[in-house]
Structure 1
């Protein structure tokens, strides 16, 4: 796949894809005979993984470390797992904070709705 196709598939700008490759967040992408990037299935899986993890808030530095360990082979399996466990804990904490914020927003919205209903009922009298 061309960089344009991958960009459209994952809704990421081509510059972001180039950046991810430059900082080794995704492995080096092969090139076509004309020298253009030619993404294969594995490359696309890496793009999807990085996009997912970034969307969840994982820092680029953590992902670079993870990818580097992955490329070193099976002997880094435990270290990679520890990274994922730690990031899951952090994500769970952020989700709990977000749930509290969502609950508070819902409460405030319901109060506004109640006050509008009260005002409408006053007008009907």
Structure 2
């Protein structure tokens, strides 16, 4: 079976060697073996765990929760229901975060469009309700119609 050094794993998963050492010391990598010199040695079997850890970490799941999940993995089949529930719960949370991010992205795109139009006009005054600093709602409707027409 092929083995990988900690630096190879760090490069593969775009993390630093100290980060991997921290993960190991924090109990996230209980599957990692050490060679005769005491260096961490990763195997092909470890790559699946590392892929899961990387995905969960990039999904903003706290390390303490990832550690619990990995502990369940190490325990074997008796924790399959817990692992399934964990993934289902994380999927729901991630979908909720994605929905919020998509709403924020939509708003930022609207504001970008607005500022582009204001820059082209050389002023915001043409877009505001007279006597206020409030953007007239008709401009948002114009933007939304342009977006629908572009689809």
Runs of 4+ in structure 1 deviating by more than 4 angstroms, as ranges, are none
Structure 1 match to 2:82: 79
Structure 2 unaligned segments of length 5 or more: list them: 124-151
Structure 2 match to 1:123: none
Deviations 1:59-104 (A, max 9, x none): 1121111111111111111111011111111111111111111011
Structure 1 match to 2:36: 33
Once the two structures are overlaid, the 10-residue window that deviates more, 58-67 or 30-39, is 30-39
| Contact 1:56/1:91 (<8 A) preserved | yes
Please give the root-mean-square deviation of Cα atoms over the aligned residues, in Å. 1.6
The DSSP-based 3-state class of the residue aligned with 1:39 is strand
Does residue 68 (structure 1) correspond to residue 83 (structure 2)? The answer is no
Structure 1 or 2, whichever has the larger Rg, is 2
Does residue 116 (structure 1) correspond to residue 116 (structure 2)? The answer is no
More strand as a share of residues: 2
Deviations 1:34-63 (A, max 9, x none): 222111112232222211111011111211
| Contact 1:27/1:43 (<8 A) preserved | no
More helix as a share of residues: 1
Scaled by the length of structure 2, the TM-score of the pair is: 0.73
